[in-house]
Amino acid sequence: MLFLNKDAIQKIDQNTIQTAVKQAYKLVLNKNYNMPDRMHVPDNQNTLLLMPCFSEKFFAVKLVSVFPEAQKHGQPAVNGVMVLSDNISGQPLAVMDGAAITAERTGAVTGLGVKLLSPESIHTAGIFGAGVQGLSQARYLLFNRKIKTLYICDLQKESAISMSRTLKQEYPDVEYVITENSDKLVEKSRLIIAATTSSKPLFEATGDLVMEKIFISIGSFRPDMQEFPNSVIENADDVFVDTMFAAKESGDIAIPLKDHVITKDKIKEFAGLLEKSAISENKTIFFKSVGMALFDLTVATAIYQMARKHNIGQTLEF
Ligand SMILES: NC(=O)c1ccc[n+]([C@@H]2O[C@H](COP(=O)([O-])OP(=O)(O)OC[C@H]3O[C@@H](n4cnc5c(N)ncnc54)[C@H](O)[C@@H]3O)[C@@H](O)[C@H]2O)c1
């Protein structure tokens, strides 16, 4: 059995990870997987998620916790363990760092979103949240589009500075602008990604300021949490979700539905974009991701196969 920690997982290239996310959507289109709704166990402000899934040859389960206040203790909000097993023999194949898998696959979900939703002409983007997911979001955004200016907004200015320093080493030609003015970030950016632990909308901009832009929301994993104001979804020409479960789980969809700002028939599954593109120079688009175990399964499978091929990781005996 292989043990793959964060360093081992980060050795796998972005293209492999993003292709694995695309593979998950193909399985969605073909209905070729077995995945129950994930189990949510709330405990005060914290949440434990149990995420199992089967494909034809593999199965996996990720146990992941979200502790929004962890930063106060100098710790990341998301932690977890992932076990990948063989679906023929039932044998466990690998134990992996669930937080690292989560960061990579969530970045790649946005990466594929950027690729299939935004025109190649976009040169400005903004990211709310400079935590673990924020950095991964930025990496996959910059992997897919030639961004000239990237705006970063975080409640903790130090986090935004630290993220821009890391990115500067990887993408030195990009201009990084740290801003505390969330409306300015929206005004200046063609594409806006939110990866925060916020429960309330991150900005107030409405009307023209949100038009002809692409919005991707990664945080807001509970029905009472919302990252973007209703005006975004109200003005959106297209609304996509990675899984229809998002309408139940995330306030970014559940709140506008409850407020009658949109109706359910406006919400489309992202997997459909593999068959029909939505890219347009002047559409307003909203994509909400809550993640799903199928992403973890296809990404963990791809990572495991690459690790075996290139001798990455540690072999363990039970
Ligand atoms: N969609 C998915 O598949 C998926 C996967 C993993 C995590 N998530 C979610 O993404 C969110 C971020 O996770 P993380 O691991 O990066 O957490 P993190 O604690 O590492 O980072 C969150 C950052 O958001 C910032 N923030 C909070 N409120 C803000 C606000 N109002 N304005 C600007 N910045 C603000 C915090 O200061 C922090 O730096 C969490 O809600 C998590 O549950 C989603």
The stretch 94-114 carries a mean pLDDT of 97
Ligand 1 centroid distance, CA of 128 (Å) = 9
**pLDDT number for residue 127:** 98
- 14-30 vs 293-309: helix crossing angle, rounded to 10: 130
Which domains does the chain possess? 2-102+294-315 (3.30.1780.10), 113-291 (3.40.50.720)
Cα 104 to averaged position of ligand 1 atoms, centre (Å): 14
Q: Of the residues 102, 109, 161, 196, which should be mutated to test ligand 1's pocket, given the most ligand atoms within 8 Å of the CB?
A: 196
The reported pLDDT for the residue numbered 177 is 98
Mean pLDDT of 2-21: 98
Distances (CA, A) of 104 to 54, 199, 207, 302: 20, 23, 34, 12
Local structure of 178: helix, strand or coil: strand
Average pLDDT over residues 300-312: 98
Please state, in angstroms and rounded to a whole number, the distance separating the CA atoms of residues 65 and 81: 9
Indicate which residue's Cα is closest to atom 43 of ligand 1.
219
Report pTM: 0.96
Among 63-72, 88-97, 102-111, 287-296, the least confident range = 63-72
Residue 29: CB atoms within 10 Å: 12
Judged against a pLDDT cut of 90, whether residue 149 lies above it is answered with: yes
**Which of the listed residues 48, 66, 133 should we mutate to test ligand 1's pocket, taking the one with most ligand atoms within 8 A of CB?**
133
